Structure 1
Amino acid sequence: MESVRVLILYLAVPSLLFSALRQILSWRNKGPSAKTTIPGPKQYPVVGRVHDLDRFQMWKKFKEWADIYGPIYRTSMLGQQFVIVSDEKIAQELLTKRGHIYSGRPQIRALFGHKTGAGYLALMDRTEIWTKQRKWVHAAMADFHRAHFHGVIEEEVKRYLAVLMLDPAKFHSNTREHCGRIMSRLAWDDASMGKENGDSADCTLTQMSVSGPLVNTMTPLWSIPWALNPWKKYERAREDKQRAWWLNSLKVAKQRYLRGTLPTETWSFRYLDGLYKAGNTTLEQSEKDEEFASCMLGFHNLVGVITICGPMQFFLMAMTLNPEWQKKAQEEIDRVCGDRMPTTADSPNLPTVRACLKETLRWRSGVPLGMFATVFAFLIRPKKTMSTWVRKIAAGTIVLACEWLVLPLPPSANMSIDICSLKRSMNRVAEVYPDPENYHPERYLEPGWPTFQEPLSRYPNFREGKGMHTFGWGRRTCLGQHIVDDEMFVSGAAVLWAFHLTRKRCPSTGQEIDFDSEATNAHVILEPLPFPMDINPRGDMRAAHVLAGYAGVREKLKV
């Protein structure tokens, strides 16, 4: 093994030298006019500041630099230029108002052709394929939200509660499978794919992450010849397996549609029904069109897992660490729902539950780098009418709107002629979120807090309103806000209706076991690491209701 590593290193040397030469030539070509006016840490030749970054918690270094250099600064890594934004209004100015410029995607080195291919909607550049897929997914998600996802969420939540009660120790993995089952049913009417769906989502996230394959940071290693390149071989096998699964799922759905056994409340039915009504009664398609459709449905399915399971796990953690808020939410649920499990119809009457859920995403953001929330953008050359520092951002720069950063502008800052004067920040700045390091759902419930909005029958939620930028900006805003809103609400409210969540105690000393609430898997979309927690039914009657609810839907779930 050591000899292989040495061989790989020697093969990478020419690529590293080439990268260094290209960087030096680019400096010469730019000349003095390209000097940036954006502040930032000192840059070293070729490497930039890559040596300062922790691949597993990069956002904390970005936060440290933001405290020094301000709400927008620049850095580089191995020749790749970055601009880091930690101010909400600057992010709005760049990524929403100028979304036609800042809406591309960078190359994730460990993936093949994701910028132009049909496989990963959220990772594509603005191509014709991206436009067609996004338009279809947006319409499909809106239709299903109006129907509250046809009761699929409530049915699967009844199973989830039973699983938590019967096997509480595996709540972490069971939560991911729960999210995978919901998406697999909505996509293909096949909940048996739930675990595979969750595992595939996690594996894909690993490939996307800086903390994943080494080639995502040491990009010249990707150029090693195929025969000696373990990263290319692994990714080829992983992607081929995933694409084959998606394509087979589409073909099975076609057969079921033609036989009349595919439920109408699935995204695959909606797509195939469109083909049929357009005159394609046999559903025959070219290989290219089948790839387009299977990847659109498959990736839509996958994203619904990774954007919900982490926040749901963090919500369980938040309720465990904040028993006073767990009790307030349970009292509200009991008053509204009594002995029946909450449903989406109860949402207007459970503002405390919604506030606890929304505060969870602020307190422990699942996307501290904003990765899935459109932080990466290839830039075309800005127009001369734009502010000076914007025009100095070179084409190909990657812009990150980082949620973890905490940086209000100092009162003495004299930036009135530029958009840097806008005094707003992301989800940990005290002037917007007082006491940002601690869990305060009341910030959405009580007048006087900067994020309070009325009516409480509508706010807070994940789709709109103050204090919600986890889902991205402008043309690259995540399309999953509606299902996050419904699935997080029903799952979270139902768990509190059914169980008490408490800190686990040491069997020897009886003392509560401490754990690191910031310990995560370090992907671009985070899950907390498994943490110690006890899950107990809220009495024998509530336990009986959980089992009865599951028994009522078990046959339909095709477990």
Structure 2
Amino acid sequence: MEGLALVLLYLAIPSLLFSAVQQILSWRKKSPSSVPKFPGPKQYPIVGRIHDLPRFSLWLKFQEWAREHGPIYQTRAVDQTFIIISDEKIAEELLVKRGHIYSGRPQIRSLIDHKTGPGYSALMDRNDNWKIQRKWCHAAMAEAYRHHFYGHVEKEMKRYLGLMLLDPARFLDYTREYCGRVMSRLAWDDATQGKTNGDSADCTLHCMSVSGPITNTVSPLWHLPAFMNPWYNFEIKRERDQRAWWRNNFGFAKERMLKGTLPNDTWAYRYFEQLQREGNKTLEQTDDKELFASCMIGFLNLVGVVTISGPLKFFLMAMGLHPEWQKKSQDEIDRVCGDRMPTMQDFADLPTVRACLKETVRWRSGVPLGVPHQAERDDEYRGVEIKKGTIVLACEWTLNRVPEKYPDGDNFRPERWLEPGWPTYQEPLTRYPNFREGHSMHTFGWGRRTCLGQNIVDDEMFVFGAATLWAFNSGPKICPRTGVPVPIDTQATNSHVILEPRPYHLSFKPRSDERAKQILENYHNVLGELKL
């Protein structure tokens, strides 16, 4: 392996030298000392600061630099300039008010053609493919939310609780599968695709992350010939398999639509119905249009897994580590719901549960770096020239720890959403906190690139949080050999663009024999309806 690494590095040297020559020529054109710049860490010739940017937990380095250099600073990795923001007002000025400039997406080296589409709408530049897909997905998501996702969240939750009762050690697997099942049911009426959906989402995230293929950080390696380029060959196969899976589900849904057996509460039905209203009764389309539509629905399906699975796993962690908030939430649930499992109908009456969920996403952000924006043309801000192609990051980890808005920001403090006097408190508590409006909506991104999934996050996380607290007591797992709790590292993650925690251990026990009986009854009641 060492020999192969040396060969690959040797082959990458010409590209690195070319980048170095470009950098030197740019210095000759303009003296750096004469150009106004944002503050930032010292930059070294050619490499900038790429040598001390960690591939894992990069947000901690950005937080360290923000403390030293202020709420907006810049750095460089070889020939790529980055502007890092840790102030909401600055982020709004650039990413919202100037969203017509800062809504591009940077090239992710190990994803193929993602900027043009049609495979990854959230990662495309603002082109026609992106506009059509975003408009369609926004309308589809809004209609599903109007019906609170047709009860599928609650039904899948009953299945989840039953599995947790029978085999609680697999709680992390079940949590991701739960998210995958909800989305696959909404997309194609096939919840059995839930595990495949979750695994596909996780693999995609790996390939688009700094912590993933080394070609995302040492980009010249991507240009090696295919016969000796394992990263390129892996991505070719991954994308081919993913698109084939999406196309297969799309095709099967089309067959059911023509037979009249596809439920009208699926996104596939919505798409085919639109075709039929336009006069296309047979649903026949060109290959390109079918690829476009299958990717649009498939990626919407995928994103709904990765943006919710991680926060739910962190929520379970937070409840296990903070028994006082677990107990407060359970008391509230028992007072409101009694012996029945909570549903979305209980939303207004369970503010403590919502506060614990909201605080989880602040405490352990699912997207701690923020999703990067790229300047689509030259601009100027505070007297500093921002060149086209500059990557702008509103670092969510640091934003969530600004002392003036989030006192004691490193600690889990749900009371900040419940008690007057905290900067984030809002009334009425029957409405706030939530994931649709109010404070900390930067969690979902900025401006024209804001995530479309606030509504499903709000519903799915609320039902999950309330139902698991209704059903189980949880806490650190006790080591059978030593008799002491197994430690949990709350910052150990996969370091993807959208995070999940590294595997950790918790103990789950039903809150009573009667509650266990209720869980099993609910589970059996949905077995006949759900595809398992």
In the other structure, the counterpart of 1:215 is: 215
Opposite residue 287 of structure 2, the aligned amino acid is E
Q: Which string of whole-angstrom CA distances, capped at 9 and with x for unpartnered residues, describes residues 232-269 of structure 1? A: 11100000000011111111111000101101111111
In the other structure, the counterpart of 1:225 is: 225
- Asked if 1:539 corresponds to 2:532, the answer is no
Aligned with residue 453 of structure 2, among 472, 480, 486: 480
In the other structure, the counterpart of 1:342 is: 342
Opposite residue 508 of structure 1, the aligned amino acid is R
In the other structure, the counterpart of 1:423 is: none
In the other structure, the counterpart of 2:386 is: 393
* Contact 1:403–1:427 (8 Å) recurs in 2: yes
* Contact 2:375–2:387 (8 Å) recurs in 1: no
In the other structure, the counterpart of 1:176 is: 176
* Contact 1:19–1:220 (8 Å) recurs in 2: no
Opposite residue 388 of structure 1, the aligned amino acid is G
- Give me the whole-angstrom Cα distance separating, in 1, the residues matched to 2:416 and 2:53: 33
Opposite residue 377 of structure 2, the aligned amino acid is I
In the other structure, the counterpart of 2:51 is: 51
- Give me the whole-angstrom Cα distance separating, in 2, the residues matched to 1:529 and 1:434: 27
Corresponding residue SS for 1:379: coil
In the other structure, the counterpart of 2:121 is: 121
**Which shows bigger deviation, 223-232 or 291-300?**
223-232
In the other structure, the counterpart of 1:414 is: none
Corresponding residue SS for 1:75: strand
- Give me the whole-angstrom Cα distance separating, in 1, the residues matched to 2:375 and 2:164: 44
Q: 1:24 to 1:488 in 2, by over 3 A?
A: same
Opposite residue 38 of structure 1, the aligned amino acid is F
Compute the TM-score of the two structures, normalised by the length of structure 1: 0.93
- Give me the whole-angstrom Cα distance separating, in 1, the residues matched to 2:387 and 2:519: 57
In the other structure, the counterpart of 1:412 is: none
How much has 1:34 moved relative to structure 2? 7.2
How much has 1:506 moved relative to structure 2? 2.3
In the other structure, the counterpart of 1:245 is: 245
Q: Which string of whole-angstrom CA distances, capped at 9 and with x for unpartnered residues, describes residues 340-398 of structure 1? A: 11111110111111000000001111111012xxx322331126xx5412xx1111000
Opposite residue 340 of structure 1, the aligned amino acid is R
Percent identical residues:
64
* Contact 1:162–1:550 (8 Å) recurs in 2: yes
In the other structure, the counterpart of 2:22 is: 22
* Equivalent runs, 1:248-327 vs 2, <5 Å: 248-327=248-327
* Contact 2:20–2:46 (8 Å) recurs in 1: yes
- Give me the whole-angstrom Cα distance separating, in 1, the residues matched to 2:203 and 2:401: 29
Q: Which string of whole-angstrom CA distances, capped at 9 and with x for unpartnered residues, describes residues 480-517 of structure 1? A: 11100000000110000000011112223432222211
How much has 1:29 moved relative to structure 2? 3.5
How much has 1:558 moved relative to structure 2? 1.5
- Give me the whole-angstrom Cα distance separating, in 1, the residues matched to 2:19 and 2:255: 51
- Give me the whole-angstrom Cα distance separating, in 2, the residues matched to 1:278 and 1:34: 60
Q: 1:230 to 1:509 in 2, by over 3 A?
A: closer
- Asked if 1:332 corresponds to 2:325, the answer is no
* Contact 2:36–2:383 (8 Å) recurs in 1: no
- Asked if 1:427 corresponds to 2:400, the answer is yes
How much has 1:229 moved relative to structure 2? 1.3
* Contact 1:404–1:428 (8 Å) recurs in 2: yes
Corresponding residue SS for 2:441: coil
- Give me the whole-angstrom Cα distance separating, in 1, the residues matched to 2:203 and 2:429: 39
- After the TM superposition, list the runs of 4 or more consecutive aligned residues in structure 1 that deviate by more than 6 angstroms: none
Aligned with residue 382 of structure 1, among 361, 376, 379: 379
In the other structure, the counterpart of 2:485 is: 512
Opposite residue 551 of structure 1, the aligned amino acid is H
- Give me the whole-angstrom Cα distance separating, in 2, the residues matched to 1:525 and 1:376: 15
**Which shows bigger deviation, 470-479 or 40-49?**
40-49
How much has 1:173 moved relative to structure 2? 1.3
Opposite residue 336 of structure 2, the aligned amino acid is V
Number of residue pairs matched? 532
In the other structure, the counterpart of 1:419 is: none
How much has 1:160 moved relative to structure 2? 0.5
* Contact 1:520–1:528 (8 Å) recurs in 2: yes
- Give me the whole-angstrom Cα distance separating, in 1, the residues matched to 2:34 and 2:444: 33
How much has 1:32 moved relative to structure 2? 5.7
* Equivalent runs, 1:11-160 vs 2, <5 Å: 11-31=11-31, 35-160=35-160
Give the RMSD, CA atoms, in angstroms.
Answer: 1.2
Opposite residue 399 of structure 1, the aligned amino acid is V
Listed as ranges, the gaps of 5+ residues in structure 2 are none
- Give me the whole-angstrom Cα distance separating, in 1, the residues matched to 2:277 and 2:220: 49
How much has 1:51 moved relative to structure 2? 0.8
How much has 1:30 moved relative to structure 2? 4.5
Corresponding residue SS for 1:250: helix
- Asked if 1:467 corresponds to 2:440, the answer is yes
Listed as ranges, the gaps of 5+ residues in structure 1 are 406-425
- Give me the whole-angstrom Cα distance separating, in 2, the residues matched to 1:232 and 1:530: 29
- Give me the whole-angstrom Cα distance separating, in 2, the residues matched to 1:60 and 1:436: 14
